[in-house]
Amino acid sequence: MKLLHHVVWLILIAILQPALINALSVFGVNGNVFLLFIVLIGFFCGRMQGMLCGILFGLVYDIYVGRFIGTDMLIYLFIGYFSAVVSDRFYGRPNIYVFSAMAAGATIAAEIIYLIPYSMFCEGSFVWISAVRIIFIETVLNAVLVLPMLWFIEKTLVWFKIKKY
């Protein structure tokens, strides 16, 4: 059931990301639903599921976006793992601010790691100034988008009878 759940979400996110999320862009910056899914699955399903979904969804996102193949895969693997580590600190369902903070932290970490290969090829401070602006906007978008996604994922975890807490 977990595999079916994750495959259904992979298909939904692959359709949802370009169709809906790109329509919600702010100054040309979009939220990252792939990243949000990994954060939530790592939190609800544990380390192994978070890491496996991180590998699969990261590879699909690498192919989808066309960045360096494997970068997102490794980043999402670690994000899925550390989301599960954070979930070990809570008994029961935490406040929604925890999920927004996790999404914001994961976004900041992922975007800073993305900058490393790009900063090798670009010179000047313009890259860093625009990158900070993009990171800030995407962090705010993901911190807000994680809340409706949290509701949907909690519902589908119940429908597929997958343990949450």
Tens digits of residue pLDDT in 121-164: 766 655 677 788 889 999 999 999 999 999 999 999 999 888 65
pTM above 0.85, yes or no: yes
Question: pLDDT (tens digit, 9 = 90+) per residue, 45-102?
Answer: 999 999 999 999 999 999 988 767 888 899 999 999 999 999 988 877 788 999 999 9
- pLDDT grade, residue 36 (50/70/90)? very high
pLDDT score of 165 more than 60: no
pLDDT for res 57? 95
Residue 16 or 81, more confident: 81
Three-class secondary structure assignment of the chain: CHHHHHHHHHHHHHHHHHHHHHHHCECCECCCHHHHHHHHHHHHHCHHHHHHHHHHHHHHHHHHHCCCCCHHHHHHHHHHHHHHHHHCCCCCCCCHHHHHHHHHHHHHHHHHHHHHHHHHHCCCCHHHHHHHHHHHHHHHHHHHHHHHHHHHHHHHHHHCCCCCC
